[in-house]
Structure 1
Amino acid sequence: MKRKHWIIGLIIIVVILIGGLLAGGLYFYQMAVVPGHKSFISNQTVIKKSDPLYHQKKWFQQVHKQHWTMKSATDDLKLVADYVPAQTKTNRTVLIAHGFMGNKESMGAYAYLFHRLGYNVLLPDARGQGHSQGDYIGYGWPDRLDDKKWIKKIIAATGQQSKIVMFGVSMGGATTMMTSGEKLPSQVKAFVEDCGYSGVKQEISYQAKEMYNLPSFPLVDVVSLITRVRAGYFFGSASSVQQLAHNKRPMLFIHGAKDTFVPTKMVYQNYKATKGPKQLWIVKGAQHAKSYATAPDAYRQHITKFLQRYVH
């Protein structure tokens, strides 16, 4: 009888533990993957004159934009983007990818930079963010396939002689790296990534430790399983490093020396992984996604020299 009670007690404990893990997994899935307000992300939309990129952001608010739409590569979602043609007609276009819970408007300063360099600029809202449809954040993984479709749309609009650069910051940087590992049209000439993570599992595991002092196992694995069921991908599959191993095109890596959100050490893993021509710039004193604001002139110069070398 005692043995029977012991077995029943053990089963109850196991059920409670599994239930607790599942409840915790669902909570963190909501925090990490479901679009919505995030307390750890600034939602500031007012541009202050004290902002070192005030002029650039103001320009984007005021410039005329064309409205592009398309269906996502998966899930049949309506995706939207802003397109700003270059001042002088050109076949050079940059595709700009925004960060976690960002949108095309949050990338206005970068649009200004590339527009001043003579590029057409396309800024999509990633699935589940901005004005695009979707009920989950892809962290760059399903988005890489969407960006392949945006690239085809650029070529259709600007011609077979198109020269395309992809650029992204934070999650957008990871999206850029993940896209680089796909089979892409020859019109794609180069990539510029700023502070992208080495992989989704690595980044979420890091944040679990930093924000909640929780170990990666088993919670992150449970959230990953829930994400696979609800959003179609495992965290471990969404790897910048693995995708970069298939890339042979030129890539410029930028990362802030004081980045504690996507730790600076990740850029060295990314840089090592790519197989194409590459450059690395660590921006002294820059925190996460603040390299442009920290050193705007140097930022523009690094990107200009890189593109002059690889996009003719």
Structure 2
Amino acid sequence: MNKRSRLRQLLALLLIGFAAMNAVAFFHAWRFTHFSNEPGLHSPNPELLGPGQKLWLLLTGIRNPKPQNGPKPGFPVETVRIASPNGPLEAWYARPDSGRARGTVALFHGYTSSKSHLTHEAGYFRRLGYNVLLVDQAGNGNSAGFRTTVGYREADDVAAVFNWLKNLFAKSSGSPLLGRGAGGEVSRGHIILYGVSMGAVAILRAEAELGIRPTANILECPYGNMRQTAYNRFASMHVPGFPMADLLVLWGGVQNGFWAFGLNAERYATQIHAPTLLLWGTADPRVTRAETDAIFANLAGAKARHDFAGVGHEPYWRRYGADWEQQIRGFLGAAK
């Protein structure tokens, strides 16, 4: 075999390998951003898997059934439908038990979750005297669709919810959703946005690029940018990220019609002027300290931050209930 033939074979092998990597990345990106209509549980978090399970996950992709809601909260809620560019959204609206509402907190869940996962947080906001609106983002729970873009198109949902609340407050003071407090006073129109992970990134993009102006934000563990998030997931499995992480981001964006490398909360933060509380767990394998530092440094308005020691990508109130409540209460007292 002459030198030219060997070079041709090597080139053919490289092209086949590159095509195979792209095919695998395309498949994984589709499974990651599209929920199935089949019952079952989502694949466990990568950091919880053994070596054999990680290999199987890399070969077959994640199981990704559409997230479902659990039971309704223990407090009374009204189910409402909100029009979004992504399709109708389902939400639960609830008022505080008594007194004049200080405003409304709209709650947005994370990836592969639903509004029922935020009932504890909503319950605390109610005890502080706020109306609450728990939202199933598009593709999740009882909202339309089976697709997620991990914060990009979900920003349209945030904007739709914000505008729905603004229109609600602009209507007659006798609106059954607004209600009246014990003193007959109508709820005030303060709108606070609360988001977890994907929901937090969607809030940032909605403010930076879609022009909404909430009273304040409370953001738990937003990731810095989509590329870093992909690399973090590979790192959690102790698998090299290059080049598959970049291919996943590329194909995920192509499949869903946007430039996924531009999904960047660190950049969005430079356009955020509303008072913002940023919360993060120091043991979070999916969101690094560097990402959190960059987001916080870039926030353009009044800001506060609190880190929860030893906590991962999980609700902070479960391990630090009193501390979490103190941070929320103190921030809202300053931001009202």
TM-score norm. by structure 1 comes to 0.85
Other-structure match for 1:23: 23
For 2:129 and 2:284, the matched residues in 1 are separated by 30
Asked if structure 2 preserves the Cα contact closer than 8 Å seen for 1:84 and 1:120, the reply is yes
For 1:228 and 1:153, the matched residues in 2 are separated by 28
Other-structure match for 2:49: none
Other-structure match for 1:52: none
Q: Give the share of equivalent positions with the same residue, in percent.
A: 21
Matches within 5 A, 1:131-170: 131-159=142-170, 162-170=189-197
1:210 equivalent to 2:220? Answer no
1:279 equivalent to 2:295? Answer no
Other-structure match for 1:46: none
Other-structure match for 1:39: 43
User: What is the CA-CA distance between 1:214 and the residue it aligns to?
Assistant: 2.4
SS of aligned partner of 2:215: strand
For 1:59 and 1:93, the matched residues in 2 are separated by 22
Q: Deviations over 1:29-48 (max 9, x none)?
A: 14432225432249xxxxxx
Matches within 5 A, 1:10-89: 10-35=10-35, 37-41=41-45, 61-73=73-85, 76-88=86-98, 89=100
User: What is the CA-CA distance between 1:297 and the residue it aligns to?
Assistant: 1.4
Question: Relative to 1, partners in 2 of residues 1:3 and 1:71: Cα closer, same or farther, differing over 3 Å?
Answer: farther
Runs of 4+ in 1 over 3 A off after TM superposition: 1-8, 182-186
Matches within 5 A, 1:255-266: 255-266=280-291
Question: Relative to 1, partners in 2 of residues 1:135 and 1:7: Cα closer, same or farther, differing over 3 Å?
Answer: farther
Asked if structure 2 preserves the Cα contact closer than 8 Å seen for 1:93 and 1:121, the reply is yes
Question: Which structure 1 residue ranges, 5 or more long, are not aligned?
Answer: 43-57
For 2:289 and 2:95, the matched residues in 1 are separated by 34
Other-structure match for 1:54: none
Q: Deviations over 1:97-118 (max 9, x none)?
A: 1011000001111111111111
Amino acid at match of 1:204: A
For 1:282 and 1:77, the matched residues in 2 are separated by 36
Question: Which structure 2 residue ranges, 5 or more long, are not aligned?
Answer: 47-69, 172-187
Amino acid at match of 1:181: A
Q: Deviations over 1:34-72 (max 9, x none)?
A: 225432249xxxxxxxxxxxxxxx995332222222333
For 2:75 and 2:33, the matched residues in 1 are separated by 32
- The count of aligned residue pairs is 292
For 2:101 and 2:3, the matched residues in 1 are separated by 80
Asked if structure 1 preserves the Cα contact closer than 8 Å seen for 2:71 and 2:116, the reply is no
For 2:333 and 2:102, the matched residues in 1 are separated by 15
SS of aligned partner of 1:244: helix
1:200 equivalent to 2:212? Answer no
SS of aligned partner of 1:99: coil
Matches within 5 A, 1:292-303: 292-303=317-328
For 1:60 and 1:70, the matched residues in 2 are separated by 18
Question: Relative to 1, partners in 2 of residues 1:175 and 1:185: Cα closer, same or farther, differing over 3 Å?
Answer: closer
Question: Relative to 1, partners in 2 of residues 1:209 and 1:286: Cα closer, same or farther, differing over 3 Å?
Answer: closer
User: What is the CA-CA distance between 1:302 and the residue it aligns to?
Assistant: 1.2
Q: Deviations over 1:191-238 (max 9, x none)?
A: 0111111112111111122225022x3222222222222212232111
SS of aligned partner of 1:245: helix
SS of aligned partner of 1:22: helix
